[in-house]
Structure 1
Amino acid sequence: MGYKTILVSLNEVGRLPQLLAAATKLGQALGTHVSGLYVIPAVQVYPSVGFEAAPQVFEGNRSFFKDNAAKVREQFEAAMTKEGLAFDFHQVDSRTPIIADEVVAKGRCADVLVVSTTNPDEVTGVERDFVEQVLMGVGRPVVVLPHQGEAKLSLDDVVVGWDGGREAARSTFDALPLLRVAKKVRVIRVDPQKDASLKASVPGADIAETLARHGVKVETQGYPTDGLDEGQALLRCADDVGAGLIVMGAYGHSRLAEFIFGGATRFVLSRLNRPVLMSH
């Protein structure tokens, strides 16, 4: 079963060219329908403080997204038309100021989502934890683009992070439509020498055999971390081979545990330098 509908979230207006490029790349590679989603958030209402009787209302984000709506729609439709893709565009006037809520609701009816991380050094009007909210809530695979750089998505060389866990299995099989059309897929097992059960075996061989039966051009590789955590190791491996996409599970631990103790998902999202497909 392949992807039939891609949903691309367009509220990161400053990353619109990169979002459109990724969506059209996937649409072309898989022959899918592309849905553009643009959310006009509700005004932000803050409770009154001190002796003020009326609550404070902030309309800045809503005004910003209303002002950019026509431009976003025009660029989305032009990009899809240029590539000859089937598409539709949805502008949602939200009842809440949380953009992620609408993306999660709409995204549950898509096969895969395309989103961008939010630049922590800029105020873009999108929630700082937008990607985390979507990953945890949507129940679908999400292709996440970095908030800076070209963010070019390529299926020439794909790195799959594999540890045998639930989230790794979910993301790997969620990514199957992309893995089938990739020129090369590398299943990476980080620090296999630390797992006694893997001695005298090829790390990742079981999942590689399954992927090969699906027609995936796959190879396996153990990757010592040299003291790095798994997220760092995956990014370094992707750098080493020039991967155009990383596939990995998201939040094998709770978000709170990752926030307190660190974790692969949190590290990769904060240091992301290329597209990554994540599933939770």
Structure 2
Amino acid sequence: MSYKTILVSLNEVPRIAAVAKSAGVLARALGAHVAGLYVVPAVQVYPSVGFEAAPQVFEGNRTYFKDSAASVRSAFEAAMNGEGVPFSYQEIEAQTPLIADDTIAQGRSADVIVVSTTNPDAATGVERDFVEQVILGAGRPVIVLPFTGDITLSLDEVIVGWDGGREAARAAFDALPLLKAAKKVRIIRADPQKDPALKGTVPGADLAESLARHGVKAQTEGFPTDGTDAGQALLRCASDAGAGLIVMGAYGHSRLTEFIFGGATRAVLTKLNRPVLMSH
């Protein structure tokens, strides 16, 4: 198993340099192709209210992405040429105002998707819940980058969050190509002493044994939450180690138009300070 197609979403325009760099690092390490995707959303149409005779049309987002298209493509292609990796670029005229819809559709035929979180304090034209939609809808592992800072993905050290659950298992094995390429892998279980079933065992040893058969040498350890939730503890552990990537399951579901995520998943997405691979 390996990643051969990396889809990178280019709509978070202020973060083009970071997402392109991370996609290039992955492609170079794994011998993969990078597929750049840029979605130009349709205009937003709001139904008429009260005595208004016609619906209101907002073209701001569409205009912004149309105007930014040439510079985005140029920056992406320059980054890929700089990394020396094979790549392609696709610009899609969306049928809806939602960028996530086409990203999900295109991402389902890729091995992994690279996206950036959206800055909650800036109007970037991307849906506020874009990352959540992609994680829950694509059915592929998603590498999420912070919306600020110059930290790009590195495989020098990878932290794997492990609790023995379905989502954690999916993430660990979805990330297998990265774990095999990593210089160092650490399997972290938050507060193992609080689980009576783990008494007398080495936290994460079962996963480490399975990964070893794939050639992955992983260290296992418990990590105290110190009164925080598991997500914040995982971020703290990764920060202390200077890890270049976190791997974890995404616990959540959608309910009508609302995305409900577990505490650890929400904490990591909200306070993300380095790349994280999430699977659902």
Question: TM-score normalized by structure 1?
Answer: 0.97
Which whole-Å deviations, capped at 9, do the CAs of 1:158-197 have from their partners, x for residues lacking one?
A: 1000000000000000000000010100000111001111
Q: Aligned partner of 2:253: which letter?
A: S
Query: Residues 126-165 of structure 1: matches in 2 within 5 Å?
Result: 126-165=126-165
1:239 and 1:254, CA in 2 relative to 1: closer, same or farther beyond 3 A?
same
1:34 and 1:16 map into 2 onto residues whose CA distance is 14
1:260 and 1:4, CA in 2 relative to 1: closer, same or farther beyond 3 A?
closer
User: How many residues of Structure 1 are paired with residues of Structure 2 in the alignment?
Assistant: 278
1:234 and 1:22, CA in 2 relative to 1: closer, same or farther beyond 3 A?
same
Is 2:265 the counterpart of 1:265? yes
1:216 and 1:74 map into 2 onto residues whose CA distance is 37
Secondary structure of the residue aligned to 1:154 is: coil
Which whole-Å deviations, capped at 9, do the CAs of 1:258-279 have from their partners, x for residues lacking one?
A: 9779611111100000000000
Secondary structure of the residue aligned to 1:49 is: coil
Q: CA offset at residue 79 of structure 1?
A: 1.5
More displaced 10-residue stretch of structure 1: 72-81 or 175-184? 72-81
Question: TM-score normalized by structure 2?
Answer: 0.97
1:111 and 1:254 map into 2 onto residues whose CA distance is 22
Query: Residues 19-168 of structure 1: matches in 2 within 5 Å?
Result: 19-168=19-168
Identity of aligned residues (%): 71
1:259 and 1:95 map into 2 onto residues whose CA distance is 23
Q: Aligned partner of 2:236: which letter?
A: R
1:236 and 1:156 map into 2 onto residues whose CA distance is 17
Q: CA offset at residue 151 of structure 1?
A: 2.6
Is 2:229 the counterpart of 1:229? yes
Q: CA offset at residue 50 of structure 1?
A: 1.2
Contact 2:179/2:216 (<8 A) preserved: yes
Q: CA offset at residue 82 of structure 1?
A: 2.3
* Residue 253 (structure 2) aligns with: 254
Contact 1:104/1:134 (<8 A) preserved: yes
2:110 and 2:140 map into 1 onto residues whose CA distance is 8
1:123 and 1:206 map into 2 onto residues whose CA distance is 45
Q: Aligned partner of 1:232: which letter?
A: Q
1:259 and 1:35, CA in 2 relative to 1: closer, same or farther beyond 3 A?
closer
Which whole-Å deviations, capped at 9, do the CAs of 1:188-227 have from their partners, x for residues lacking one?
A: 0111001111111100000001111111121001011111
1:232 and 1:255, CA in 2 relative to 1: closer, same or farther beyond 3 A?
farther
Q: CA offset at residue 93 of structure 1?
A: 0.2
Contact 1:9/1:38 (<8 A) preserved: yes
Which whole-Å deviations, capped at 9, do the CAs of 1:209-262 have from their partners, x for residues lacking one?
A: 1111111121001011111111111001111111110000002x4356x97796
Secondary structure of the residue aligned to 1:221 is: strand
Q: Aligned partner of 2:50: which letter?
A: G
Q: Aligned partner of 1:36: which letter?
A: G
Q: Aligned partner of 2:159: which letter?
A: V
2:199 and 2:254 map into 1 onto residues whose CA distance is 32
1:35 and 1:84 map into 2 onto residues whose CA distance is 14
Q: CA offset at residue 114 of structure 1?
A: 0.4
RMSD, matched Cα: 1.3
* Residue 172 (structure 1) aligns with: 172
Structure 2 spans left out of the alignment, 5+ residues: none
Which whole-Å deviations, capped at 9, do the CAs of 1:97-156 have from their partners, x for residues lacking one?
A: 000000000000000000000000000000000000000000000000000111321111
1:101 and 1:217 map into 2 onto residues whose CA distance is 38
